[in-house]
Amino acid sequence: MQDTVAVVTLRRPAKRNALSDGLIAALRDTFQNLPPEARAAVIAGEGDHFCAGLDLSELRERNAGEGMHHSRSWHVALDAVQQGPVPVVAALHGAVVGGGLELAAAAHIRVADESTFYALPEGTRGIFVGGGGSVRIPRLIGVARMTDMMLTGRVYNATDGERAGFAQYLVPAGQSLEKALELATRMAGNAPLTNYALMHALPRIAEQPADHGFFTEALMSSIAQSAPEAKERVRAFLEGKAAKVQKQ
């Protein structure tokens, strides 16, 4: 923990932080049991890479049922990241490949440094994404770009990846964790109910028909503004005690 920010670090540097079944289970357990004082979280990778994807040394022959259960176990783990109680920032560097990109896509904010590169080699290896990537990654970059990556093995560098939508922030090499902690600390200072609405209501509203979305928005807006902390923040702004928006 760093104050109110939980820092979760992948520590398999000799394997480029490849995701083993044990590491996936640890991610699930960690995000399902965050400390009660945590108001935001950061995911980072130790060593030269964020995560190079599925640990292929664990890939074994499975029948269809076993393969489905394995994929669903990843879904549970990465849903714990995306659908948990606090916003999550992924600090990216080096390889963000395959399952590593699926993990990054489950975070709410992604900060990449200039060493970052993105790939989905499953298509050229005769397999398919199984950790939720077919749902989450197109929401970041679109179906056409993901299809291209999997059909051709295309690799995006940090600059092109930021333009394509993989990351919201691009920083100099070695600075992604620092920036991620800065953003997570800022988010930890928000009203918890507003953060929850942004994490859980906004994605659903975006997928609803417009009339349903407007109604859901009205419900969420009324709930958020009724919270005592929201009332205090609005009162502080009206009394000139809160910072105003400034040009960056």
Identify the CATH number of the domain in which residue 204 sits.
Answer: 1.10.12.10
125 and 198 inside one domain: no
- The values of phi and psi at residue 20, to 5°, are -85, 170
92 and 148 inside one domain: yes
For 38, the domain range is: 5-188
Give 226 or 16, the one with higher predicted confidence. 16
What is the structure's pLDDT at 1? 84
What would the pLDDT profile of 52-87 be if each residue is shown by its tens digit? 998 877 777 788 898 899 999 999 999 999 999 999
198 and 183 inside one domain: no
Residue 247 forms part of a structural domain:
no
Domain CATH number, residue 28 = 3.90.226.10
Please tell me the distance from the alpha carbon of residue 17 to that of residue 76, in angstroms, as a whole number: 20
126 and 173 inside one domain: yes
170 and 55 inside one domain: yes
Mean pLDDT of all residues belonging to the chain = 93
pLDDT band for 242, please (50, 70, 90 cuts).
low
Given 188, 211, 227, which residue is the final one in a domain?
Answer: 188
- Does the annotation mark 122 as catalytic? yes
* Rounded (10°) CA dihedral 160, 165, 169, 174: -50
144 and 231 inside one domain: no
What is the structure's pLDDT at 243? 67
117 and 196 inside one domain: no
**Confidence (pTM):** 0.93
Number of domains in the chain: 2
What is the structure's pLDDT at 241? 67
What is the structure's pLDDT at 246? 72
What is the structure's pLDDT at 228? 80
Residue 13 forms part of a structural domain:
yes
Residue 213 forms part of a structural domain:
yes
Query: Which among 61, 122, 178, 229 is annotated as catalytic?
Result: 122
Among 5-9, 129-133, 229-233, the minimum mean pLDDT is found in: 229-233
pLDDT band for 248, please (50, 70, 90 cuts).
low
Give 248 or 88, the one with higher predicted confidence. 88
pLDDT band for 235, please (50, 70, 90 cuts).
confident
28 and 130 inside one domain: yes
210 and 163 inside one domain: no
Residue 243 forms part of a structural domain:
no
Q: What number is the average pLDDT over the span 97-124? A: 97
Residue 244 forms part of a structural domain:
no
145 and 130 inside one domain: yes
What is the structure's pLDDT at 57? 77
113 and 183 inside one domain: yes
- Does the annotation mark 46 as catalytic? no
168 and 62 inside one domain: yes
- The values of phi and psi at residue 46, to 5°, are -80, 145
pLDDT band for 238, please (50, 70, 90 cuts).
low
- CA 56 to chain centroid, in Å, comes to 23
What would the pLDDT profile of 128-171 be if each residue is shown by its tens digit? 999 999 999 999 999 999 999 999 999 999 999 999 999 999 99
What is the structure's pLDDT at 111? 98
Query: Which among 37, 46, 102, 207 is annotated as catalytic?
Result: 102
Residue 31 forms part of a structural domain:
yes
Residue 248 forms part of a structural domain:
no
Cite the beta strand spans of the chain per DSSP E. Answer: 5-10, 40-45, 88-92, 95-97, 109-113, 117-119, 156-157, 169-171
Closest CA to 97 of 133, 62, 63: 133
Residue 145 forms part of a structural domain:
yes
Contact call for residues 161 and 114 (beta carbons, < 8 A): no
Q: What number is the average pLDDT over the span 198-208? A: 96
